[in-house]
Structure 1
């Protein structure tokens, strides 16, 4: 039998992503209070949008949290203010700023809206970071949300670097549908679709070590290409797994053709079968 932590993680992976915060809080507070920190650090939650002192939107998650405060990648300050909050080193901070600018352009080109944030931290053999992107659409009766979390490690090896990427995409959509009017069922219902997907990839890429500026640019290009390729693969997988399968299920449950059209089709089909049988007998 699985231990409580493993069983809880397995359960959370199967529950709707839009309810993960509520379910995580329930497990942490009532069922597994001793494993609360492990659960919070192991489960990806939908990203929260916050506004810093410069009126700039940024994304809050466990990677930029220190206690109850969150650090903005634009101002490098915590909200609420925190004197000894964790920050990237003076050497790494310029790269963090440059990556935020680069992925802000990426977000605008690919998502045409939304919010992005990049956070970096120092490691023993290089640095690590996370690229966060969130796009929501709640205009009108339909609602949709896309949250992508790309955690990467970069280990420099002379003129090359080894990158390890772990990407998670959380997708949720809901759309009201008009229910058939009857004595027991009147009004509208709702169709919702949600889920999450995690993939990993590792690659070695070249670095331009001519100067600090070219080295930073190499990391931005390498990480950007890695995230771009992974998002494209995962988007295609989500389209194949969720949308195509949902379309097949709906098609098997309800035909787009009406009953009269189906009866006409069966009649024509029967007539053709009869003609083919008569032709075989004549031959």
Structure 2
């Protein structure tokens, strides 16, 4: 299949956490979505090969030569970001040509997706996963200015439990669009701009989720506060704090 034509197409298909696959050539894990898919196979951003292997890989969707070089740079860059900000997890970046190849000046329109996933060990009392999908378009304008449009979705699953059988399970997602115009020097500077925007967007979405879920647990657990004694109130506050810690730990 060819890459989807819009961010809305992808977002309509990612209503559940991203899946992980291993690149047989490099031994590295990567994330799968419809943008690196051909039939039942998925292209690795590390080797540029599809797994499971397909009969005629040359006919499967691949980025152009110049864009593939930029894709490799993007994966190396976001792998550093993932390690710094997630302290674990998996990242994958996929790029695709819009109409023509990207030239060395980076002056041709292209698009891509940044995928990030972090999980908390399901064997512990606190378990959860954070999946973020950033679909972006780069549209160079006049001079050395480019428009960057990103549609970002975060999918959060979080559960906490204790010995008193007071368990909490939360699941949901947020989607936001961001647009910005910035100057660029070459094709690599597009990745730097996208990286800065993703960092800012993820910080905002994390804070929003924390506020939303803290408020939700407060509403659910606090409806009977006027009839509860101080010990129960303290217990509710502790459970709310556990939820916030779970989000911060992803």
Report if TM-score (shorter chain) is over 0.5. Answer: yes
Aligned to 1:30: none
2:176 is aligned with 1:206: no
Matches within 5 A, 1:157-172: 157=141, 158-172=143-157
User: Residue 33 of structure 2 is aligned with which of 61, 68, 77?
Assistant: 61
Number of aligned pairs? 209
Call closer, same or farther: CA 1:120–1:256 in 2, change over 3 Å: farther
User: Residue 156 of structure 1 is aligned with which of 140, 147, 153?
Assistant: 140
CA contact (8 A) 2:125 2:162 kept: no
Q: Deviations over 1:66-121 (max 9, x none)?
A: 10000000000000112222110001011100000010010011110000000000
Mapped partners of 1:60, 1:224: distance in 2: 20
Matches within 5 A, 1:17-56: 42-44=12-14, 45-53=16-24, 54-56=26-28
Call closer, same or farther: CA 1:117–1:256 in 2, change over 3 Å: farther
Once the two structures are TM-superposed, the CA of residue 140 in structure 1 deviates from its matched residue by 1.3
Larger Rg: 1
Aligned to 1:75: 47
TM-score (norm 1): 0.69
2:119 is aligned with 1:136: yes
Mapped partners of 1:193, 1:41: distance in 2: 20
Aligned to 2:72: 97
CA contact (8 A) 2:154 2:173 kept: yes
Mapped partners of 2:19, 2:229: distance in 1: 40
Mapped partners of 1:189, 1:136: distance in 2: 22
**Runs of 4+ more than 6 Å apart:** 38-41
Unaligned runs of at least 5 residues, structure 2: 1-7, 100-107, 233-250
Mapped partners of 2:216, 2:52: distance in 1: 45
The structure with the largest helix share of the pair is: 1
Aligned to 2:212: 241
2:216 is aligned with 1:216: no
Call closer, same or farther: CA 1:194–1:162 in 2, change over 3 Å: same
Once the two structures are TM-superposed, the CA of residue 156 in structure 1 deviates from its matched residue by 1.2
User: Residue 97 of structure 2 is aligned with which of 122, 127, 140?
Assistant: 122
Unaligned runs of at least 5 residues, structure 1: 1-37, 180-187, 209-214, 260-283
CA contact (8 A) 1:177 1:191 kept: no
